Amino acid sequence: MDAKLTGRLIAARRKEKGLSQTELAERLHVTDKAISRWETGRGMPAIDSLEPLAEALDLAVSELLAGRALTVEELPKAAGGQLVESIRKNARMAWKGAGGAVLALVLLAAGWAGYHYGTSVSETDLDGLARNAARYLGGETPQVLETERRGDYLAALCTDDAGRWCMCVYDRDDVFEDRWRGGGGKPTLKSGTLGSWNFGNPREAVIIFCGGDLPLEAAYYTFQNSGITYTCPIENGQVLDVFLLPDTADIASHRMELLDQDGQPLPKGGVEGSAMERP
């Protein structure tokens, strides 16, 4: 739970609803100074204030925890209510049993879960993936044209209204296994060019090939890794392929070529020179 993000959300929504700090405080039976502390990030609402505050601002509790408005697909309001109820039950047990230390752990776990849910997106939420890509790679929010998933990695090929291309790689979230967060990629990808992005871990090498507006005569692309040659089709002038390879030592030296329908190499202009390693 980020106090500053939550505070900015509370202040913005209060103003949208035309409420003064005093009016909101009266609804929640707190002081206007408490509202001021929340909005400036110098304090956080108490557990018993989360649900009535969310109702007063027409927000879900999960949105207060995340510090931003969420789409219906991201987290239903009911889930926020269930979270608060779970917190309350555990809080009562904490006060009756081990006391404040256990309660602190419960609150920390709830805030951590809310943060993970609020900052990650579903694989099917293309708008959310686009916003996540813009947040991680920088620049304007692009349009996701294609996604590809292998194992714990998801890649998205994106473009914008100006014809600029980029590719974002998402890691599987540590808490919610069906949600993803930006973890790397290529902020700029030259139109008409096949590019690659790679990194290794102790288990495997990950190589991602990407490109848009590729030459019309490009029917395939090929690359080599550890003495093996891979040949892959190109459809609609776009490429987005994720490879998980067992060799983690030889991922930076792969050689790419574009091929025509007969398997003959095209001029080198359509291929980027070297792969980018993950930071």
pLDDT in tens, 114-145: 777 888 889 999 999 999 888 888 888 899 99
What pLDDT, on the 0 to 100 scale, is given for residue 5? 83
What pLDDT, on the 0 to 100 scale, is given for residue 74? 52
Residues with Cβ within 8 Å of residue 173, at least 6 apart in sequence? 116, 120, 179, 180, 181
Res 91 pLDDT > 80: no
State how far the Cα of 128 lies from the Cα of 221, in Å rounded to an integer: 30
Of 31-45, 106-120, 184-198, 223-237, which range is least confident? 106-120
State how far the Cα of 46 lies from the Cα of 35, in Å rounded to an integer: 11
The token pair at 247 is 């060799």
194 DSSP 8-state letter: B
Q: What sign for the dihedral angle of Cα 105, 107, 108, 114? A: positive
pTM over 0.85: no
What pLDDT, on the 0 to 100 scale, is given for residue 62? 76
| Phi, psi angle pair for 226, to nearest 5° | 55, 40
Res 168 pLDDT > 90: yes
Contact 146, 237 (CB under 8 A): no
State how far the Cα of 157 lies from the Cα of 167, in Å rounded to an integer: 5
Res 50 pLDDT > 90: no
CATH architecture, domain 3-119:
Orthogonal Bundle (1.10)
What are the domain boundaries of the chain?
A: 3-119, 124-277
State how far the Cα of 67 lies from the Cα of 61, in Å rounded to an integer: 10
pLDDT tier, 273 (very low <50, low <70, confident <90, very high otherwise): very low
What pLDDT, on the 0 to 100 scale, is given for residue 274? 43
pLDDT tier, 88 (very low <50, low <70, confident <90, very high otherwise): low
**252 closest CA partner among 203, 201, 205, 186:** 205
Contact 125, 133 (CB under 8 A): no
Which one is predicted more confidently, 267 or 268? 267
What pLDDT, on the 0 to 100 scale, is given for residue 24? 92
What pLDDT, on the 0 to 100 scale, is given for residue 69? 74
Mean pLDDT of 55-69: 80
The percentage of the chain sitting over the pLDDT mark of 90, rounded to a whole number, equals: 28
Residues with Cβ within 8 Å of residue 163, at least 6 apart in sequence? 191, 213
Sheet hosting strand 153-159, strand order edge to edge: 121-122, 179-189, 165-172, 153-159, 143-150
State how far the Cα of 96 lies from the Cα of 107, in Å rounded to an integer: 16
What pLDDT, on the 0 to 100 scale, is given for residue 262? 92
The whole-chain average pLDDT of the chain stands at 79
Which one is predicted more confidently, 106 or 215? 215
Q: Which residue has the tokens 């029917």?
A: 219
The percentage of the chain sitting over the pLDDT mark of 70, rounded to a whole number, equals: 75
What pLDDT, on the 0 to 100 scale, is given for residue 76? 47
